[in-house]
Amino acid sequence: MWSQVVGADLWWDEMRPSEGGRTLVVSRQHGDLLNEPWNTSTQAQEYGGLSWLGVMRNNKPVLFFVNKSDQRIYSKEFGAEPKPYSPITPEAEIHRYAEMISVGNEIWCVRETHIGGKVTRALVAVRESTVRILDDHSQFYSHQRISKDGSQLSWVCWEHPQMPWDGTEIKVANIAGGSLSNVHVVAGGIEESCLGPEWGNDGTLYYISDKSGWWNPWSVDQKGIQKQIITDQSEWGFPLWLLGFRFIQVLEDGRILSSRGAVDSRKITIVDPAAGTFIDVQSPLTDFEPTISAGNGKAYAFGGSGKVTSELIEIDLSTLKSTTVFATPSPIDPKYFPSPHEITALRPDGRKVYAILHPATHPDFEPSEKTPLMVVVHGGPTAHSPATLSMKYSYFTTRGISVVDVNYGGSTGYGREYRNLLRGQWGITDREDVIAVVDSLIATGTVDAKKILIRGGSAGGFTVLNVLVNSDHFAAGASYYGVADCTALALDTHDFESRYLDSMIGRYPEEAELYKQRSPLTHADRLSSPLIIFQGLDDKVVPPAQSEAFRDVCVAKGIKHEYHAFEGEGHGFQKASSIITSYEAEMKFYGEVLGFTPDLG
């Protein structure tokens, strides 16, 4: 979720499952800015990102947005219907736009082009159905920004086989007559992940780098001298899965707005770059999205906590007091919410594994026996799960099932060294870390060792399948669009992740045998646990064939299973009907396996 100050107004976006999962832009002063069926959503890099921009033109606010159905940019003024702004896409081509900024009378953005199976990207300038290419020398682009005096453009870029959390470069170019010249690298490299550059008033470029082992704030001046502004053993950055993340904002007085802290205790913070100091903003929220914004003496951030799923707050930059602008309404009384908190487990080799525990909670019942445990494996796998309220997990915790979300080795939030633990070890480190957390919780005597469940989506689904064919710990599992065959994934996935496995397994086809050995499908003859599978039929990241292969294994072996396919859903379900159907089916399946009749109301 993103926010932006537009003139004297504040705009933000909302994804509404009740409206078919469409995303719209909302104005604080005027309400919804996009009526149905308009849906602002970019499909660039398949995961998308920031798909809209508010601009003041002739003292009037104008909304530019990428429409999901045709991926064209449209412009919309108050009281008028949207008008096409980018050109009609040629036949047999796919054009996708993302992360727009306003430069003069043009919109500069990232364009992704698909022609005959080849995918390319470029920084482009768009103006009323015309497109100019600004730079097309890199495979991936993000975060283009104009200097305060309009003379320079900065951006982040990277090349295969790097992923943006492995290594990126920040480039700067001079702007003359709307064209770029003297393109040069000012920060980053193959083993340094640099993110979110923003220009200061004096031409200094501020950015986030993990050069120290943690994503911390740095600067580079006009002479090219780099400086670490804050040394902090916590993360100020996030993995760049989405285009348009905002990690820092340079305020009008030269201070820097950012967020920092541990996975279970993040803060919005204000940095004085000259002094190298920072002040945390006091807030009951404990986790914040990397989509901060500022303007008119105020700052804005989306966050959550153990009692709040999502809330947009406004911070007065003179007093650092925060107030709520918008909060996602809760469908149930807060007394039913668990208290998520971080726990640690020790592997046999002594290394720590981190996890977030959501204990089974119901105000009217105390557990009379050890509770079932649901192990959740997050996707990515380069991502993490925060210690915040999850209404999806509450669906299980209010029904007597404790949930533990494992931040296995390779997860973000714990520094680069922990993040790199998955290098060459995907399918081993994640599996072993999950088992370590389960063993630790069983040892505490609070969960029933015979009632351990496991669920996960995408890369998390891969670990679910991998654990089930290599362990007898689990009574049942649920795979949401999970990876079953690493070779198939290497040969049939989208461009953004097409070389992801180089670092996590090895180069393909040179390491083809290793891909085979790491694939859950290779060892499917060892599967004995009941399995329920969910798959979006429009999924381009993990195609349906992956889930169908494990469904066929279950059929051949006579294992209790269910397979649920959803039309119109991709990699992650957005429609309320799909979400409700999948959760009810999953709970019913667990009830059948564990011998209870769940209340699905």
Q: Residue 354 belongs to a domain with what CATH number?
A: 3.40.50.1820
Q: Are 299 and 352 in a shared domain? A: no
The mean per-residue pLDDT over the stretch 556-572 comes to 95
Q: Are 181 and 282 in a shared domain? A: no
What is the predicted pLDDT for the residue at 365?
A: 77
Q: Report which of 207, 192, 203, 195 is spatially closest to residue 271, judged by C-alpha positions.
A: 207
pLDDT tens digits along 349-374: 999 999 999 999 988 877 768 999 99
600 vs 577, more confident: 577
User: Does a structural domain hold residue 254?
Assistant: yes
Q: Are 149 and 261 in a shared domain? A: no
Distance from CA of residue 393 to its chain's centroid?
Answer: 18
Task: Pick the range with the lowest mean pLDDT from 285-294, 558-567, 570-579.
Answer: 570-579
Cβ neighbourhood burial of 28 (10 Å; 0-12, 13-18, 19+) = middle
User: Does a structural domain hold residue 599?
Assistant: no
Q: Looking at residue 134, which CATH number applies to its domain?
A: 2.130.10.120
Is the model's pLDDT at 138 over the cut of 80?
yes
Domain total of the chain? 3
Q: Are 141 and 201 in a shared domain? A: yes
Is the model's pLDDT at 259 over the cut of 70?
yes
The DSSP symbol for 33 reads: S
**Nearest-angstrom CA–CA distance, 180 and 432:** 49
What is the predicted pLDDT for the residue at 369?
A: 81
Q: Are 264 and 189 in a shared domain? A: no
What is the predicted pLDDT for the residue at 446?
A: 86
Q: Are 226 and 130 in a shared domain? A: yes
Boundary (domain end) residue, out of 296, 329, 362: 329
Boundary (domain end) residue, out of 329, 364, 398: 329
Secondary structure E strands in 202-245: 205-209, 216-220, 226-228
| Cα–Cα separations (whole angstroms), residue 491 to 295, 408, 457, 497, 516 | 46, 26, 20, 11, 13
User: Does a structural domain hold residue 600?
Assistant: no
Residue matched to tokens 């702007």: 175
Amino acid letter for position 144: Q
Q: Are 443 and 380 in a shared domain? A: yes
Q: Report which of 95, 93, 56, 55 is spatially closest to residue 73, judged by C-alpha positions.
A: 95
Boundary (domain end) residue, out of 194, 223, 248: 248
Which residues are registered as beta bridge partners of 9? 6
Residue matched to tokens 């020398």: 137
Q: pLDDT class for 390, splitting at 50, 70, 90?
A: very high
Q: Are 314 and 191 in a shared domain? A: no
User: Does a structural domain hold residue 601?
Assistant: no
User: Does a structural domain hold residue 127?
Assistant: yes
Q: pLDDT class for 272, splitting at 50, 70, 90?
A: very high
What is the predicted pLDDT for the residue at 368?
A: 65
Is the model's pLDDT at 601 over the cut of 70?
no
Amino acid letter for position 515: Y
pLDDT tens digits along 3-17: 999 999 999 999 998
| Cα–Cα separations (whole angstroms), residue 510 to 428, 506, 507, 516, 533 | 20, 8, 6, 12, 31
What is the predicted pLDDT for the residue at 498?
A: 95
The mean per-residue pLDDT over the stretch 417-428 comes to 98
Is the model's pLDDT at 28 over the cut of 90?
yes
Maximum C-alpha span of the chain:
74
| Other beta carbons within 10 Å of 594 | 17
Q: Are 223 and 288 in a shared domain? A: no
Q: pLDDT class for 93, splitting at 50, 70, 90?
A: very high
Q: Are 102 and 127 in a shared domain? A: yes
The mean per-residue pLDDT over the stretch 146-152 comes to 96
H or E stretch covering 518: helix 512-518
**Nearest-angstrom CA–CA distance, 411 and 289:** 16
What is the pTM for the complete model shown? 0.94
pLDDT tens digits along 478-522: 999 999 999 999 998 899 999 999 999 999 999 999 999 999 999
136 vs 601, more confident: 136
pLDDT tens digits along 167-225: 999 999 999 999 999 999 999 999 999 999 999 999 999 999 999 999 999 999 999 99
Domain that residue 12 falls in: 3-248
Q: Are 297 and 343 in a shared domain? A: no
| HEC sequence for 378-439 | CCCCCCCCCCCCCHHHHHHHCCCCEEEEEECCCCCCCCHHHHHHHCCCCCCHHHHHHHHHHH
Q: Are 563 and 518 in a shared domain? A: yes
H or E stretch covering 594: helix 576-594
